[in-house]
Amino acid sequence: MNKIRVETLKDVAPHVKEHLLPEIHAAVDTCIESYEADPFNDSWTFGTHLWRNLWNRLKTVAELNDCPFELYGKGNEYKLKIGRFILRHHKINNKTKLPSGAKAVKKAASVQMTIYSFLGEAAPEQPSIDNIVIAINATVKSGLTEVFIGELLPTALDSNEYEWKNEAQVYLADGCEPSKDRYVHRLSMVSTHTPIEQIPEPALKLVRPNQKEINNTDFK
């Protein structure tokens, strides 16, 4: 397909909606079904699995002749390119509205902030942007509620605080409002493990190697 001209993220949004949004819907629906199919499934099914399932779909679409997106990078970089924009996809935290992990895009965002600081906002040419995210807001309970594309940037040089810039709406479910709280002071790791003090004592006693007497009632 011939190269298309896109100047802003608002120019990119219609192409995301036409070519990528159907795959986002399909990936979310598939992972919800997988999550609900077995009680042993957990948040990984709707986290890592969703991310990977969607990438496999996006990769296939990007290889079609009529798709304006193309695969970009090498190995496991998992990026799409359209015009001068390089896009990654991430499910955002339902509360912070930011991706919980996304180390690669945050590193790219820090580099981009450094470039901006040298060029200044009034620079005649902006560099290729490598920190654009297709942000996906979805939960097992509510399904897909929102998709937007935005430029993720630190709030300052050498900052661990991030915010969205230049967002462009792609999809909003009926009855939902666009996310307003798209800024969080500092992303921190949230443990999903039960605190030690809340773990119940085991019902059975451990038997030491030199202990020969075993209570037979333990096996009844």
Provide the pLDDT for residue 118. Answer: 81
- What are the C-alpha distances in Å from 45 to residues 21, 170, 186? 20, 24, 26
* pTM of this prediction exceeds 0.75: yes
Q: Where are the domains of the chain?
A: 9-192
Helix (H) or strand (E) holding 135: strand 129-139
Residue 126, amino acid? Q
pLDDT score recorded for residue 188: 41
pLDDT of residue 196: 34
Question: Would you tell me the crossing angle of helices 48-62 and 21-37 to the nearest 10 degrees?
Answer: 150
Q: Positive or negative, the Cα torsion across 8, 12, 14, 16? A: negative
Backbone dihedral angles phi then psi of residue 71, each to the nearest 5 degrees: -65, 145
Polymer length of the chain: 220
Give the three-state DSSP class for 10. Answer: helix
- 220 residues of the chain, pLDDT tens digit each: 556 889 999 999 999 999 999 999 999 999 999 999 999 988 888 888 999 999 999 999 999 989 999 999 887 789 999 999 999 999 998 888 888 888 899 999 988 888 888 877 655 566 788 899 999 999 999 999 999 999 999 888 888 889 898 899 999 998 887 766 554 434 443 333 333 334 344 444 444 444 434 344 443 3
